[in-house]
Amino acid sequence: MRTVILDSSSIISLSLNSLLDVLRVLRDNYDVRFVITPEVKKEIVDNPIEMKRFELEALMISKLLEEKIITVSDEDFEDETHKFYDSANSVYSADGEGLRLIHGGEASCIALSSLIPDSVIVVDERTTRMLCEAPENLRKLLKNKLHADISIDRSKVSMFSKFKILRSSELVYVAIKEGLLEFPAAKEQSIEAALYALKYKGCAISWEEIKEIKEM
């Protein structure tokens, strides 16, 4: 069974676009399990449920937990989380100061993935994905954004190269393409509509990437 670790950003993107059922249909039709860390649960359920603005989303996600569509990991990986958090936030520096790139939830997802062979992390934040897949491009992006020289600790970069990253957009694409999630429109139009919705509400996906997916 393939373990798919969900970061807060990916679940929020699906929730904001009324696409949480994607997790249900993929779980029911593929040999996968969706897992979150206790830190992610705090970010998307425990804390938001106390705020009226986010209470409904937290309740919808809680339902998936109750139905065990998503499970909370009970592994002990606190030390690993601290290690990846500290490393990720000191990979890049400007004027001798480390740049904070990720938060605790993302670090916990990376830590859990490091303990589970062949696992995948679903994260919609661009920074985490680039750190793992294109660290040099991330350095250039930070340089342009901050208008400063950015140094990179390549010994720490190597810690992140082994992780497999997906976004919510890939999950939605598969669900619609395979006919597991249907809308009152042709499959191509449904995919396009879902990808654009995700782009505007939470998922860091470019116009070029949407075009590539549509042509697949």
The topology under which CATH files domain 1-216 is Rossmann fold (3.40.50)
Q: Where are the domains of the chain?
A: 1-216
Structure letter (DSSP) for residue 54: T
Residue 137: what pLDDT? Answer: 94
| Per-residue pLDDT reduced to its tens digit, 50-60 | 878 888 888 99
Strand pairing class (70-72; 165-166): unpaired
Cα dihedral angle (197, 203, 204, 209), rounded to 10 degrees? -50
64: Cα within 13 Å, side-chain hemisphere: 28
| Per-residue pLDDT reduced to its tens digit, 77-102 | 999 999 999 999 999 998 888 899 99
Q: Which long-range contacts (CB under 8 A, 24 or more apart) does 153-159 make?
A: 153/90, 153/91, 153/92, 153/93, 156/87, 156/88, 156/90, 156/91, 157/91, 157/131, 159/84, 159/87
Angstrom distance (rounded) from CA 216 to CA 211: 9
- Asked if residue 41 lies in contact with residue 199, where contact means CB atoms within 8 angstroms, the answer is no
